[in-house]
Structure 1
Amino acid sequence: MTALQTTYHGQCHCGAVSFTASTDLSAMGDCNCSRCRRLGWVMQSVPAADFVLESGADNLTEFRFNTQTISHLFCRTCGIEAFARGSDGKGQELVMINVHCLDGAPPVDRTAITHWDGANW
């Protein structure tokens, strides 16, 4: 963990699923694939070692689509996807957190984040 990282608490809407993640929020992005476009969430990837699922593992439901490589996890109670699990091109396990589910995260300037063209992946 670098000095610029902050440990954030995050949760789904109802609070059944909660987690902590350490990140500097320097690589936020959004995606225009069919799913992400509909959700409108802002993503930040963190190494799996910097993510701790605090509660709600038994309340998560998984959804996979397209290449089936990303485990989209959402709360069975409120339906919010607070994070997803996957890996980068080098096999490093990552957790993609929904920045809008973090307590105390700064406001997101969508003009200053990375925009992924997931629709044409």
Structure 2
Amino acid sequence: MLYKGSCHCGKVAFEVEGELGGAVRCNCSICARKGALLWAVPHGSLRLVAWGDDLGKYTFGKGSIAHRFCRTCGIHPFAEDASLGSERSAYININCLEDVDLAAVQVFEFDGRSA
């Protein structure tokens, strides 16, 4: 299924192809503050539609995840593996997807604070 998503102001927009079977709620220091529900997909399933100079990147700790955000409205629509290998993943914040019944999505807890 094709999903469309964006930040709040729409300056960062994307499409993602896949079956949304569940999402992860991570308790690491950044995900807990963002309140993100993350859906992991192969990086090739994510296609940016709009971004320009508005797509920011934040990394911390080991720097293995690039947390992406809109420089205008501050919303974090997705993250991605910082490595450039072929096995990269993207982590879609399903709160930023259109027409998704969030109450129907199974949520898995992940202890990112201990990872």
TM-score (structure 1 length as normaliser): 0.86
In the other structure, the counterpart of 2:90 is: 95
Residue 119 of structure 1 aligns to which amino acid in structure 2?
R
Deviation at 1:23, TM superposition (A): 1.9
Runs of 5+ unmatched residues, structure 2 = none
Residue 115 of structure 1 aligns to which amino acid in structure 2?
E
Residue 32 of structure 1 aligns to which amino acid in structure 2?
N
Residue 24 of structure 1 aligns to which amino acid in structure 2?
E
| Stretches (4+) displaced over 4 A | none
Secondary structure, counterpart of 1:46 in structure 2: strand
In the other structure, the counterpart of 2:6 is: 11
Secondary structure, counterpart of 2:33 in structure 1: helix
Instruction: Please report the RMSD computed on the Cα atoms of aligned residues, expressed in angstroms.
Output: 1.9
Contact 1:87/1:94 (CA < 8 Å) preserved in 2? Answer: no
Q: 2:40 aligns with which of 40, 45, 54?
A: 45
Runs of 5+ unmatched residues, structure 1 = 1-5
CA–CA separation in structure 1 for the residues paired with 2:65 and 2:51: 19
Residue 38 of structure 1 aligns to which amino acid in structure 2?
R
TM-score (structure 2 length as normaliser): 0.90
How many residue pairs get matched?
114
